[in-house]
Amino acid sequence: MIRLLSRRLLELVPTVLVIVVASFALVRLAPGSPFSSEKEIPAEIRQKLEAKYGFDKPLPEQFIRYLGNLLKGDLGLSTKYPQRTVNEIIANGFPVTLTLAAVALLWSLLVGITAGIIGAIRQNTVWDHAAMTAALVGISVPSFVLGPLLVLVVSLRLHLLPPAGWGDWQHVVLPGLTLGTIYAASIARLTRGGMLEVIRSDFIRTARAKGLSERLIVWRHMLRGALLPVVSYLGPAVASMLTGSVVVEKIFNVPGIGPYFVDAAFNRDYFLVMGIVLLYAFFLLFMNLVVDILYGFLDPRIDVS
């Protein structure tokens, strides 16, 4: 297990390196500069600013320096917020985004798997049709429509939950629902499909013949096979939840990392953009690794190594 993990981690090194180079090139070769915004800066001050961030040196040299700092865990200084380092901004915002994504993930798994099971074991009944139509509606209502509608109904008309802000658990509910619903719908469809694949297979018939209770058959035998497609969907789902939270954070005024990214991309805040992209890329690679390993546990036929 440890050998497998260390080998997989080692394999990630070239991928990570390519991602660093590619994002550095993409961000730095873009026209414009962090100091070319609204007002004209005197040439003298500009030179000093560029020297402070090291922009006066040739690009390859800057890259080497960036890479060196990166290895030390230093993501550099923000140009938009001169008082703060990228590390600080991420340390403040990322836990918030992560909390939001975790709530959304939990919600989507809970609702999605339940609806999927109901759909499969009551196949072609009213229950099934209701669950699957609900799933398709869920896929079709984007977060930026669902979010404002939830605010309108739940917060402003019924006064049940706060419409925006961040602080206690009440603030997490609506953004979490908004972000998670679309994935709940996909998970419901995947679970149902997976269950239907195994529902008529021999090992289920064996389980029935052994006289296992229906509950045990569903939870222990069917679900395990059905969850494979769901698990492989989780990697990309978490990825798009993290990026999708940009919109949800804007709607609910949540102090996550999303708004910083959009701002940073516009202001050519080189180090902040790079920092966030790299953070997310690392996180995605990590998630995919976890999914691969989970896969081996769920389906013994798959050889992870």
Partner 1 sequence: MKSLQQETVAGTKSDEIDLIAGTSLWHDAWKRLRKNNMALSSGVIMVCLGVACLCGPALLGIMWGYDAHTQNLAYGPQPPSLQHPFGTDFYGRDLLVRVLTGARVSLSVGVLAALVAASIGTIYGAVSSYNGGLVDSFMMRIVDILYALPYMFLVIILVTILGKSLLLLFLALGAVGWLLTARVVRGQVMSLKEQDFILAARSLGTTSRGIIFRHLIPNTLGPVIVTFTLTVPSMILQEAFLSFLGLGVQPPQPSLGSLINDGANQMLVFWWTLVFPGGIMAIMLFALNFLGDGIRDALDPRMKI
List interacting residues with partner 1 (CB under 8 A): 15, 18-19, 22-23, 26-27, 30-31, 136-137, 139-142, 144-145, 147-149, 151-152, 156, 189-190, 192-193, 236, 239-240, 242-244, 246-247, 250-251, 261-262, 265-266, 268, 273, 276-277, 280-281, 284-285, 288
Residue 170: alpha-carbon gap to chain centroid:
22
Q: Report, in Å, the least distance between residue 15 CB and partner 1.
A: 6
Q: Which is nearer to partner 1, 212 or 283 (CB)?
A: 283
Q: Which is nearer to partner 1, 1 or 10 (CB)?
A: 10
Q: Which is nearer to partner 1, 75 or 273 (CB)?
A: 273
Q: Report, in Å, the least distance between residue 261 CB and partner 1.
A: 6
Q: Report, in Å, the least distance between residue 211 CB and partner 1.
A: 25
Q: Which is nearer to partner 1, 171 or 192 (CB)?
A: 192
Q: Report, in Å, the least distance between residue 103 CB and partner 1.
A: 20
CB atoms within 10 A of CB 6: 10
Q: Report, in Å, the least distance between residue 45 CB and partner 1.
A: 25
Q: Which is nearer to partner 1, 177 or 277 (CB)?
A: 277
In eight-state DSSP terms, residue 305 is -
Which SS3 state, helix, strand or coil, does residue 85 take? strand
CB contact set of 15 (below 8 Å; sequence gap of 6+) = 285
CB contact set of 228 (below 8 Å; sequence gap of 6+) = 194, 295, 298, 299
Alpha-helical runs (H) found in the chain = 2-28, 43-53, 59-71, 86-121, 126-140, 143-150, 170-199, 202-209, 214-216, 223-251, 258-266, 270-298
Q: Which is nearer to partner 1, 147 or 180 (CB)?
A: 147
Residue type, 177: L
Cβ 24 vs Cβ 63: under 8 Å: yes
In eight-state DSSP terms, residue 154 is I
Q: Report, in Å, the least distance between residue 105 CB and partner 1.
A: 16
Q: Which is nearer to partner 1, 38 or 44 (CB)?
A: 38
2 HSE (CA, 13 A, CB side)? 0
Cβ 203 vs Cβ 130: under 8 Å: no
Q: Report, in Å, the least distance between residue 276 CB and partner 1.
A: 7
* Lookup result for tokens 């494979």: 228
Q: How many residues does the chain have?
A: 305
Which SS3 state, helix, strand or coil, does residue 196 take? helix
